[in-house]
Structure 1
Amino acid sequence: MTKTITFAIMHFSIAFGVTYLITGDLVLGGLVAVIEPAVNTVGYFFHEKVWQRLELRKTATLNLLTKGFVKL
């Protein structure tokens, strides 16, 4: 969870900075800095969960292969 939080802080800062540089508007920069990274952070959390499951499947398959239960 710490990784997700630090990623969110970095993302908020980047989103605000880029939007402010493009528009010169603090309010719009603040809105984009809150909305876009918040949605993206939730997506990132689930992205990590999917990759964890894929790694578990890969490990389980390798274990079955090395024990001779599955042949390719």
Structure 2
Amino acid sequence: MSKTLSFACIHFCVAFLVGYVMTGSIWVGGALALVEPACNTVAFHLHEKVWKRIERRRAENASANALAT
């Protein structure tokens, strides 16, 4: 979870800077920094969970195959 939070902090800063540089508006940069990274952070967390499940299943299958031979 700490990796996700670290990613979120960096993402919020980048989103704010991109929004601010593109529009010159602190409000647009702030809104962009709140909405987009929040959605992306949730997606990243779910992505990590899916990949951990895939890796665990691969390891279980490898163990089962090793025992079968």
Partner in structure 1 of residue 55 of structure 2:
55
Measured on the aligned residues, the alpha-carbon RMSD in Å equals: 0.9
String of CA shifts for 1:17-43, please: whole Å, max 9, x gaps: 011111101000000000000010000
Structure 1 residue runs of 5 or longer lacking an equivalent are none
TM-score, scaled to structure 2: 0.96
Q: What secondary structure does 2:68 align onto?
A: coil
Report % sequence identity: 43
Runs of 4+ aligned residues of structure 1 deviating over 3 Å after TM superposition are none
Structure 2 residue runs of 5 or longer lacking an equivalent are none
CA distance in 1 between partners of 2:55 and 2:30 (Å): 37
TM-score, scaled to structure 1: 0.92
CA distance in 2 between partners of 1:18 and 1:55 (Å): 35
In the TM superposition, residue 63 of structure 1 has moved relative to its aligned partner by: 0.3
Aligned residues between the structures? 69
Q: What secondary structure does 1:61 align onto?
A: helix
In the TM superposition, residue 15 of structure 1 has moved relative to its aligned partner by: 0.2
